[in-house]
Amino acid sequence: MKTENRSWTAPVTPDAARGELKALYERIRAASSRGAVAGLWQACGHDPRGLEATHSLYRALMGDPAPLTRAQAELIAVVVSATNGCGYCVAHHGPKLAAALGDPALARAVARDYREANLPARDRVLLDCAVALTCEPSERKLEDIERLREYGFDDAAIVKATAIAPYYNLTNRVACALGVALEPGLEPWEFGSQR
């Protein structure tokens, strides 16, 4: 986990943003639960069109994750991020998972190792698929989908989960590759390898 207090590339801060980027930052800030433009988005500010696409996908997947529950969507975000070793995203989504579960201790246990956390079997199967997709995407088989169906996930839920997992693979890689630093006031979360 990165411990430096600044990113490896110069972020485009909200104060420095102009024109199209400034308007995009305002939309991001308005949609943010913290009322701020996160460091990840500022790191992507050098590519406003790419940032807009990435943020729009985030809002589409996580703004209303139905037919998954908010907790299931955040479970995927935390576990995929932990699998990828992305402390930035675990720190951002750990508190959201704690709120969605209504159980901060369980959320922290999930970040350390979801397989040891006291989760329902249905959620564990969902996370098994997210980790498998993260670690071995080319090895996925029809049996993976059938297993999800056995646990009550319909095709709409399977598609949503299958979109959320790779979204976090994308953002984890951006955050890690650019060394995006945690914003002041956000505490790192302990997490383990979920492989």
What are the pLDDT digits (tens) for 131-154? 999 999 999 999 999 999 999 999
Confidence of residue 1 (pLDDT cuts 50, 70, 90): very low
Return d(Cα 170, Cα 118) in angstroms, integer. Answer: 28
Residue 193 has a pLDDT of 86
Considering only 2-16, 75-89, 161-175, which range has the smallest mean pLDDT?
2-16
Longest Cα pair distance anywhere in the chain, in angstroms? 51
pTM over 0.75: yes
Closest Cα to residue 51, out of 168, 169, 174, 164? Answer: 174
Q: What is the pLDDT of residue 2?
A: 43
pLDDT in tens, 77-112: 999 999 999 999 999 999 999 999 999 999 999 999
Q: pLDDT at position 195, please?
A: 84
User: Cα torsion for 55, 56, 58, 59, to the nearest 10°?
Assistant: 120
**What values do phi and psi take at 188, rounded to 5?**
-60, 150
pLDDT at 3: 44
CA-to-CA separations, 192 to 47, 83, 115, 189, 195, in angstroms, rounded? 32, 7, 11, 10, 9
Average model confidence (pLDDT) for the chain? 95
- Residue positions counted in the chain: 195
